[in-house]
């Protein structure tokens, strides 16, 4: 008697499993690698992405993957690890995706030969642990008792390495100084990069970008009377409000029944009295600058102009918080009982023209734990890429300040780890030997791709690197200036050790995750049923 067929999944569900499924997932990840690999390194190309009519030019791995509409579920894992690398350490977003795909590519031969994926997973995890252990052993701790000038030099070297592959590499002296200055302004215990404001003004050249030790924001929407207000102060008192200073037309907002015209006049007078009392209370505080998250109307604007006070309303919440961080005081939700300690101060306030925009700038702030970078560039796409590049450099400086251990870049650390794992694999027997050797080979994808993007002979240079590393030259990597190999530690091509460890761990976990997926079940979304035209039913009149 035959067993009846039991239908568990709905009709149209796509199921695929087994070895073929794992290979299909590996191929999808390798396709992502093909897209990204040309962007790696100082001589990598940019990719132009057109998304819903918006054009983006970038060589930042996380940005490219975010904008690509990746639909394959396994390939989406590479998108996620690239984003997490960007959020955690800021740089190495392309490297992490290339490494993950290369680990999978190397494991493909074992899957095709019928090796169980859990054996590969176990060996990959072992190899990752060994590699991270070796990085900790090799990393050079930068002494934190250096003088400020020496510490700054160390941070600048890390920032320059992060910028070498970016659009701003030709202006790296300006932007390196900017990135280091911006991070050093922050509170050492917190290092919250959100307190570094980045404003973009189209027009001009990149050289015109500037760092302001304080806060700058675009001039808010202004009413009549604004032009009569002073635009420059020395040592002003600054009042920050979350109060609306606008004369409301209550006829739109309330219903009042009256018998006599005199009663109507009383209502109008009461409205004026309320707002004038608020304005008098603000003037009485002695504030020279009044800022508010909510609108400041034309009556208040003119009132402040007559008394030599500058005001700005509808200021974005993030800018307002950064102002309070810099100048002191606190945001008030009422104008009654404002004490001197509620007011902030700074050395200079000025409204200046930058490109086609006017900016309000607060400088010389007493507790300046914040700063603002104003970026210039010929096109919006260029400025957007400069911002992304600067973000990477800022994150690298931040990590180097928190975790003061560095390794050499330019493929040096990858070659040393590859040599270390190869030597280890020769000391063990069985399948693990083959898989760890394959992991070691996969690490060479970084220097090989760097050579390819620079138009150099990868085979020759990699052979030279292997020879140097076998002699114990730990820090030998690629030198693009002389198109040969050199000691990259002495050349100051430095990267925080944390970046490399995070990239290896994330890439290995992503590869392990893809290899552990044996079956994919894909539910097609239900097709919406076409609506039947409403007919004339019984009892429904025409």
Closest C-alpha to 99, from 462, 440, 409: 440
Closest C-alpha to 197, from 366, 378, 377, 362: 362
Residue with tokens 């009549």: 224
Judge whether 13-141+407-523 and 214-253+260-367 match in fold.
no
pLDDT band, very low/low/confident/very high, at 123 (cuts 50, 70, 90): very high
Tokens of 440: 């070691």
Checking if the pLDDT of 489 tops 70, the result is: yes
Decide: 406 and 142 in contact? Cβ < 8 Å.
yes
How far apart are the C-alpha atoms of 295 and 384, rounded to whole Å? 30
Closest C-alpha to 64, from 88, 89, 41, 38: 38
DSSP structure class, residue 474:
T
Question: pTM for this one?
Answer: 0.73
Which of 1-15, 27-41, 183-197, 204-218 is least confident?
1-15
Q: Which residues are catalytic?
A: 60, 93-94, 392
Checking if the pLDDT of 420 tops 90, the result is: yes
CA atoms within 13 A on the CB side of 185: 31
**pLDDT confidence of residue 410:** 85
How far apart are the C-alpha atoms of 67 and 272, rounded to whole Å? 52
Closest C-alpha to 105, from 510, 459, 432, 454: 510
The phi and psi torsions of 332 (rounded to 5 degrees) equal -100, 140
Domain 214-253+260-367 has CATH 3.50.7.10: yes
Checking if the pLDDT of 539 tops 50, the result is: no
**pLDDT confidence of residue 125:** 94
* CATH fold of the domain at 13-141+407-523: GROEL; domain 1 (1.10.560)
pLDDT of 379-402, one tens digit each? 888 888 888 888 888 888 887 777
Percent of the chain with pLDDT over 70: 89
Angle at 304 between CA 298 and CA 305, to 5 degrees: 85
The chain-wide mean pLDDT, for the chain, equals: 82
Provide the residue ranges of all domains of the chain, joining segments of one domain with +: 13-141+407-523, 214-253+260-367
Which of 58-62, 251-255, 315-319, 397-401 is least confident?
251-255
pLDDT of 345-374, one tens digit each? 888 899 888 888 888 888 888 776 788 888
Which of 192-196, 425-429, 519-523, 532-536 is least confident?
532-536
How far apart are the C-alpha atoms of 493 and 160, rounded to whole Å? 8
Question: Higher-confidence residue: 264 or 423?
Answer: 423
How far apart are the C-alpha atoms of 205 and 427, rounded to whole Å? 57
């Amino acid at each position: 008697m035959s067993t009846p067929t039991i239908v568990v999944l709905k009709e149209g569900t796509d199921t695929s499993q087994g070895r073929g499924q794992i290979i299909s997932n590996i191929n999808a990840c390798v396709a992502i690698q093909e897209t990204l690999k040309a962007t790696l390194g100082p001589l990598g190309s940019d990719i132009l992405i057109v998304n819903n009519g918006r054009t983006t030019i970038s060589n930042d791995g996380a940005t490219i993957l975010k904008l690509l509409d990746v639909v394959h579920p396994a390939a989406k894992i590479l998108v996620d690890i690239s984003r997490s690398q960007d959020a955690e350490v800021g740089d190495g977003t392309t490297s992490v995706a290339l490494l993950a795909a290369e680990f999978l590519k190397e494991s493909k031969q074992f899957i095709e030969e019928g090796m169980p994926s859990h054996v590969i997973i176990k060996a990959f995890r072992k190899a990752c642990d060994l590699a991270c252990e070796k990085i900790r052993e090799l990393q050079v701790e930068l002494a934190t008792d250096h003088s400020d000038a020496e510490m700054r030099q160390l941070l600048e070297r890390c920032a320059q390495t992060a910028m070498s592959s970016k659009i701003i590499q030709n202006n790296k002296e300006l932007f390196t100084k900017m990135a280091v200055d911006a991070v050093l302004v922050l509170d050492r215990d917190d290092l919250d990069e959100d307190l570094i404001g980045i404003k973009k003004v189209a027009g001009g050249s990149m050289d015109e970008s500037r760092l302001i030790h304080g806060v700058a924001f675009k001039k808010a929407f202004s009413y009549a009377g604004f032009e009569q207000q002073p635009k420059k102060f020395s040592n002003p008192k600054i009042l920050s409000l979350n109060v609306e200073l606008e004369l409301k037309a209550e006829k739109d907002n309330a219903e009042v029944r009256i018998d006599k015209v005199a009663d109507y006049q009383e209502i109008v007078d009461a409205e004026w009295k309320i707002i004038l009392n608020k304005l008098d209370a603000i003037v009485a505080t002695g504030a020279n600058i009044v800022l508010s998250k909510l609108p400041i109307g034309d009556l208040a604007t003119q009132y402040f102009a007559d008394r030599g006070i500058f005001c700005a309303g509808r200021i974005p919440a993030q800018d307002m918080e950064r102002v309070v961080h810099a100048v002191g005081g606190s945001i008030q939700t009422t104008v009654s009982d404002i004490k001197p300690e509620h007011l902030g101060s700074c050395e200079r306030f000025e409204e200046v023209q930058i490109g086609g925009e006017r900016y309000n700038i607060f400088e010389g702030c007493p507790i300046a734990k914040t700063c603002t970078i104003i970026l210039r560039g010929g096109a919006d796409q260029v400025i957007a890429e400069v911002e992304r590049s600067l973000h990477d450099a800022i994150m690298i400086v931040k990590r180097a300040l928190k975790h003061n251990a560095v390794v050499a870049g330019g493929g040096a650390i990858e070659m040393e780890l590859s040599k270390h794992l190869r030597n280890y694999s020769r000391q063990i027997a069985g399948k693990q030997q083959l898989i760890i050797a394959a992991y070691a080979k996969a690490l060479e994808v970084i220097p090989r791709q760097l050579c390819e993007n620079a138009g150099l002979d990868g085979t020759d240079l990699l052979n030279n690197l292997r020879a140097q590393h076998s002699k114990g030259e730990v820090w030998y990597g690629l030198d693009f200036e002389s198109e040969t190999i050199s000691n990259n530690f002495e050349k100051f091509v430095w990267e925080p050790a944390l970046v490399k460890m995070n990239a290896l761990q994330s890439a290995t976990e992503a590869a392990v995750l893809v290899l552990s997926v044996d079956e994919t079940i894909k539910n097609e979304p239900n097709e919406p049923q076409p609506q039947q035209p409403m007919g004339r039913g019984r009892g429904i009149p025409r």
